[in-house]
């Protein structure tokens, strides 16, 4: 799928009420860019968006994994480290 088409589909899904469909889309896109990112920062952007969406869907453990992967891609990001620390401390 081209980036233009993927971007349009992402925007449509984001505007819809079907948040699970958007999560499925993010997982699919991450699989598609696994070997070749295609544009700089795309994997990181997808993992961050997926993490936020998973929190919205009350899938805390999955969100932690998403943010951990994002942190591994950009370990210098202090805000992401804080976000992940907040997730760790909010989990009973």
Q: What is the pLDDT of residues 2-41, one digit of tens each?
A: 889 999 999 999 999 999 999 999 999 999 999 888 899 9
pTM: 0.89
Q: State the DSSP H helix or E strand holding residue 64, giving kind and residue range, or none if neither.
A: helix 60-73
Whole-angstrom distance, CA of residue 29 vs CA of residue 33: 6
């Amino acid at each position: 799928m081209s980036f233009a088409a993927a971007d349009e589909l992402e925007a449509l899904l984001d505007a819809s009420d079907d948040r699970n469909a958007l999560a499925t889309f993010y997982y699919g896109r991450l699989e598609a860019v696994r070997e070749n990112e295609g544009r700089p920062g795309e994997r990181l952007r997808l993992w961050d968006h997926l993490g936020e969406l998973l929190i919205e869907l009350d899938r805390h453990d999955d969100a932690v994994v998403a943010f951990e992967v994002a942190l591994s891609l950009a370990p210098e990001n202090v805000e992401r480290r804080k976000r992940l620390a907040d997730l760790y401390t909010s989990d009973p």
